[in-house]
């Protein structure tokens, strides 16, 4: 058993402390703490955003399934995949209406940019998630049973225009404004 004393406190005159002596008995060096403090947005899970376009803290793991509820809307997202860290997740409440600019991720990102909220991408999100492709740029795409849909979907991915159009059955229509 550990006995914890709460009777500590200042005893006697205190001299001015530098960073080293100010940490007292803590087993840390100031440089480590300063490095952590200098990160403008640490990987705080409550500030992460899922590929579905909603804050990770709105996802609940129910064992066999992930449940994503944002405000009064339930998102059918089956898996939480963090892609962003943002300064404020309040702007990630909009619903997916389709792919590209109609996707909740894109719609909510624009709202963050308008409000000047800090945004940082977590991983290599700059290339197509199709394993056989490395094209850029990418677009958020909702999928239901590997079909691109114009509504919230259980699976959301980032695909290049060619792969998204191919999944939609519109191969060869690149550059014609299907994703806007």
With a threshold of 0.75, does the pTM exceed it? Answer: no
Q: Is residue 126 part of a domain?
A: yes
Structural domain total, the chain: 1
* pLDDT score of 103 more than 90: yes
Residue 142 sits in which domain range? Answer: 45-168
- Residue 97 pLDDT class (50, 70, 90 cuts): very high
Residue 50: closest CA among 149, 142, 138: 142
Confidence of residue 125 (pLDDT cuts 50, 70, 90): confident
For the stretch 24-63, pLDDT in tens is 677 777 787 777 666 655 555 688 999 999 999 898 888 7
Sheet of 119-121, strands arranged across = 48-50, 82-86, 119-121
Please indicate, yes or no, if residue 2 is contained in any of the structural domains: no
Rounded distance, CA 127 to CA 123, Å?
11
In a domain, 8, yes or no: no
Percentage of the residues of the chain whose pLDDT score is greater than 70: 76
Separation between Cα atoms, residue 161 and residue 152, nearest integer Å: 19
Task: Please indicate, yes or no, if residue 146 is contained in any of the structural domains.
Answer: yes
Residues 82-91 have pLDDT tens digits of 999 999 999 9
């Amino acid at each position: 058993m550990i006995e914890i004393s709460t009777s500590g406190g200042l005893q006697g005159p205190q001299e001015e402390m530098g960073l080293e002596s100010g940490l007292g008995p803590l087993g840390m060096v100031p440089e480590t703490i300063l490095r952590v403090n200098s990160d403008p947005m640490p990987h705080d899970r409550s500030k992460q955003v899922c590929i579905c376009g909603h804050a990770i803290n709105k996802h609940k793991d129910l064992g066999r399934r992930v449940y994503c509820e944002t405000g009064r809307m339930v998102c059918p997202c089956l898996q939480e995949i963090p892609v962003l860290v943002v300064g404020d997740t309040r702007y990630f409440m909009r619903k997916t209406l389709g792919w590209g600019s109609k996707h909740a991720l894109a719609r909510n990102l624009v709202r963050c940019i308008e409000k000047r909220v800090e945004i940082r991408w977590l991983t290599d999100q700059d290339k197509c998630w199709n394993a056989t492709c490395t094209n850029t740029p990418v677009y958020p795409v909702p999928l239901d049973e590997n079909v691109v849909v114009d509504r919230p979907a259980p699976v959301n991915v980032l695909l290049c225009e060619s792969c998204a159009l191919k999944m939609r059955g519109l191969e060869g229509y690149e550059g014609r404004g299907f994703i806007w």
